[in-house]
Amino acid sequence: MRLKDLAEHLGLSQTTVSRALNGYPEVNEATRRRVANAADALGYRPNASALRLATGRAGAIGLVLRGADELGPHMSEFLSGVGSHMAAQEIDVLVATVASHAEELAAYRRLAASQKVDAVILHSPTTRDERAELLLELKIPFVLHGRTEIGHPVAWLDIDNAGALERATSHLLDLGHRRIALLNGLRGQTFAEHREQGYCAAFADRGLTPDRGLMANGVFTDEAAFRTAQAMLARRPAPTAFLAGSMMTALGVFRAIRQAGLELGTDVSMIAHDDVFPYLNADNMYPTMSTTRSPIRQAGARIADLITQVLAGKPLEEVHELWPVELVLRESSTRVRE
């Protein structure tokens, strides 16, 4: 039995029948009940493709990943948060993996054309993000995790990366450190630019200038961080403190410190940014790790909530959330060794 057959049986249009089955308010209660009873009696199972055509809702939100590696620890924690919120609403998350920037733009076009998703979560923005401009042009509702400057209002949620790094850097400066290495994300990514601004602001605030040779940009893996930290620790004078961009970065820096025969928390200090992974707990490390802390899972859950608000008609310029980041001091950050 197809929607068409059910509609013919009832003497109603397909649109009315599918609206009735979806509980749309335009259909009165008597008709809704008549349709539901007939569907039951005739064993009609709604076909989502037909319903989507009639109702214009896909029941899914999209997420495009550039390369399989993008589904790493950060993204999976974030998606856990999204999923926890969407589960209650029977909204699915459609994950499209692509291999390049060009393919990524094509994927958004494809999602727009196919109407497989009602909205998109845009993540890892650059300071002027072409994808955000494309999504506006394609008229796909989206919420941005992070910020971008494209001259149009967009809905976003971000953490205060500049504030977090300013506070962490200030704390290390107060402990007497001057050669503070910054292991930051890739250049052009908004969060990395914000973190650099915060780091530089803390130095400037004290009339100091950071050593640019201690500012590195790279991916947040144990391996990349190990190599960078190893090279920095071989310099003379060597850095006395590290700001690690993620917990994975912290693992690599920790390894380089050990390999150089130094001890974290006495010879060298470290503050890491902690997105709060259940399996890499800053409190359970030896020594325990000082962190700037913001659970990325909560951001995912909140963005899912914001998307449902945007789909319900909330104006984009009212969806702007900047979350503060806490500085949690533990054993890894101590006074500089003279």
| Binding site residues, a second copy, CB under 8 A | 45-53, 58-60, 65, 67-69, 71-73, 75-76, 79-81, 83-84, 86-88, 90, 92-99, 103, 110, 113-116, 221-223, 226, 248, 251, 255, 258, 278-281, 284, 286, 297
**Nearest CB to a second copy, comparing residues 112 and 182:** 112
Reference 250, options 194, 173, 174, 333; nearest CA is 333
**Nearest CB to a second copy, comparing residues 106 and 328:** 106
**Nearest CB to a second copy, comparing residues 1 and 204:** 1
**Nearest CB to a second copy, comparing residues 246 and 333:** 246
**Nearest CB to a second copy, comparing residues 86 and 182:** 86
Reference 274, options 295, 253, 299, 288; nearest CA is 295
Q: Cβ of residue 127: shortest distance to a second copy, in angstroms?
A: 27
Q: How many of the other CB atoms lie within 10 Å of CB of 114?
A: 12
Dihedral sign of CA atoms 56, 58, 60, 64 in order: negative
Q: Cβ of residue 161: shortest distance to a second copy, in angstroms?
A: 21
Q: What is the crossing angle of helices 190-205 and 161-174, to 10°? A: 30
Q: Cβ of residue 223: shortest distance to a second copy, in angstroms?
A: 8
Q: Cβ of residue 185: shortest distance to a second copy, in angstroms?
A: 15
Q: Cβ of residue 282: shortest distance to a second copy, in angstroms?
A: 12
Give, in degrees to the nearest 5, the angle at Cα 165 between 64 and 291. Answer: 85
CA distances from 233 to 40, 143, 260, 271 (A): 72, 41, 7, 16
CA gap 143, 122 in Å, rounded:
6
Q: Cβ of residue 204: shortest distance to a second copy, in angstroms?
A: 34
**Nearest CB to a second copy, comparing residues 87 and 204:** 87
Strand order across the 215-217 sheet: 215-217, 180-184, 241-244, 269-274, 290-293, 326-328
DSSP conformational letter for 160: -
